[in-house]
Amino acid sequence: MKKLFLGMAAATLIGGAPRIVPAATNAKTKTREIAHYLKSVDARAAIPSPEWPPYHDVHMPSETFSHVNIAWLTVLFVLLAVASGLWNFGLGLPALATLLLAFAAGYETFFGSRYLMQGFSPKQPIAFSHELHAGKLGISCYYCHHGTLKSNTAGVPSVNVCMNCHAVVHRTTTETKDSPEIAKIIASWKSRNGAHPKSIDWARVHRLPDYVHFSHRIHIANGIRCQECHGAVETMTRVRQAAPLTMGWCIDCHRLNKAAAPSYWKRAGGPVDCNACHF
């Protein structure tokens, strides 16, 4: 009986060993595979994600001076009239001050309201590079911003999405020790069950007014590519607002007929009535 028990114990240990050893081996193998892949990526030129067309094939409408802010144009004329009246009454300094205000209103009429946020590129809490992730590595926009396909908002990826890779990848191929930027992600992840969890406070780059209804899902479903509103994100080390994103800029797209629209669009000629975006 004793021999039978010892034999069963030995068989259990022998049979269990293959299930224990490969677990550690697989982790090391996975690490080597990812490191080898990243080295091969660094060795080749940056390329856009396979699902994207070359940037020069993406249609980005450009606003013209025909799109004038009527409200600010009214303010401009009122200020010019006030400045003229003050000048006629001999009030030179108030007239000049009013002219300065009129100049500011004129700039807002033709330039300011459309280009105030264009080029906005705030510093982020983590130096995340879209050029590396979306460009060199070819990671799809939809992998991180998964809300794009099914909801109005694209959404900011949660830390667990980052940890799908960075649970293993702690440095880039050009670094000799763990990256301090990746360490911030790992620290946020490890604090999730603690008394003081640390979130990553990303700075928002693109923002539309609350009275504007925009659906990512509808645009993506009709073949509109990410770069057509956000610019060549796969070339940006730090994301910036590439387009003005104003009403006139959007209407320029909506007015395109099928002949003028890019061939990969499923549908052209978007709605131009007010209730489509303001309801």
* Tens digit of pLDDT at every position of the chain (279 positions): 555 555 555 555 445 444 444 656 666 676 677 666 666 655 555 444 444 444 445 555 554 444 566 777 888 999 999 999 999 988 889 999 999 999 888 877 776 655 567 888 999 999 999 999 999 998 999 999 989 999 999 989 999 999 999 999 999 888 889 999 999 999 999 999 989 999 899 999 998 888 999 999 999 999 999 999 999 999 999 999 988 888 888 998 999 888 888 888 998 889 999 999 998
Computed on alpha carbons and rounded to an integer, the radius of gyration of the chain in Å comes to: 28
DSSP three-state, residue 61 = coil
Residue 150 has φ and ψ, to the nearest 5°, of -125, 0
State how far the Cα of 58 lies from the Cα of 259, in Å rounded to an integer. 15
pLDDT of residue 262: 87
Task: Say what the pLDDT of residue 9 is.
Answer: 54
In contact, 270 and 228? CB cutoff 8 Å:
no
Distance in angstroms (rounded) separating the CA atoms of residues 48 and 53:
8
Dihedral, 188, 193, 196, 201 alpha carbons, nearest 10: 30
Tell me whether residue 51 is exposed, middle or buried, using C-beta atoms within 10 angstroms of its C-beta: 0 to 12, 13 to 18, 19 or more: exposed
Cα(189)–Cα(206) distance, integer angstroms: 26
Query: Sign of torsion, CA 202 206 208 214?
Result: negative
Alpha carbons within 13 A on the beta-carbon side of 40: 7
Q: What is the predicted pLDDT for the residue at 40? A: 63
Burial class of residue 141, CB neighbours in 10 A (0-12, 13-18, 19+): buried
- What angle (nearest 5°) sits at the alpha carbon of residue 231, between those of residues 227 and 236? 110
Residues in the chain, overall count: 279
C-alpha to C-alpha distance for 192 and 212, rounded to whole angstroms: 34
| Amino acid of residue 279 | F
What's the sign of the alpha-carbon dihedral 208, 214, 220, 225? negative
pLDDT at 263: 87
